Amino acid sequence: MRRPQILWTDAQVAELRALWDEGLTGSEIGKRLGCSKAAAIGKAWRLKLKPRLSPLPAKQAAPKVRMPVPNDIVEQVMANLRGRR
């Protein structure tokens, strides 16, 4: 079941554009316009307003850690490889 669409007035669209350009968050814009964050961001998307970077820091990949291999295992592998020649 679809939710009812919000009918945006020209004044609301103008205010949305201004608040978006000021850099307010979607939540803050929604509060000021009396709609949800999703409605404000969705309208900004449909108006093709300039995308903004997320205020959340980007996740960094965990560094790859190599598990140390005990020397006796290395020696066994090397001996097996030498024996195959």
Annotated domain spans of the chain: 1-53
**Of 8, 9, 30, nearest in space to 20 by CA:** 30
- Does the pTM surpass 0.85? The reply is no
Quote the pLDDT of residue 19: 95
> Which pairs with CB-CB distance under 8 Å and at least 24 residues apart come from 70-73?
none
CA distance 39 to 33: 10
Query: Over the stretch 22-36, which tens digit does the pLDDT of each residue have?
Result: 999 999 999 999 999
CB atoms within 10 A of CB 8: 17
1-53 has which fold? Arc Repressor Mutant, subunit A (1.10.10)
State mean pLDDT over 37-58.
87
CA distance 84 to 75: 14
Quote the pLDDT of residue 1: 65
CA distance 38 to 26: 7
